[in-house]
Amino acid sequence: MNSTLVTSYYQGTLGRIRDVAVTADGTGLLLVTNNTDGRGSPQAGDDRLVRVALSPGTS
């Protein structure tokens, strides 16, 4: 998969990604967002745990 495509897909939707980990079964990624760090106006849903599915055979 083209990294530009992935960047464009998630741009403006998740905010600051603080950490990324591979799921235990290797089929996805877990992303932790942190948007309530004292900047701006915190809102419900700013800090999230997001699972992104990975497709086999893509790079």
What ranges do the domains of the chain cover?
17-53
Q: Output the CA angle 33-36-42, nearest 5 degrees.
A: 125
Would you say residue 5 has pLDDT above 70?
Answer: no
pLDDT in tens, 17-31: 888 999 999 888 998
> What is the overall mean pLDDT for the chain?
75
Q: Say how far apart CA 36 and CA 52 lie, in whole Å.
A: 22
CA-CA-CA-CA torsion for 10, 13, 19, 20, nearest 10 degrees?
Answer: -40
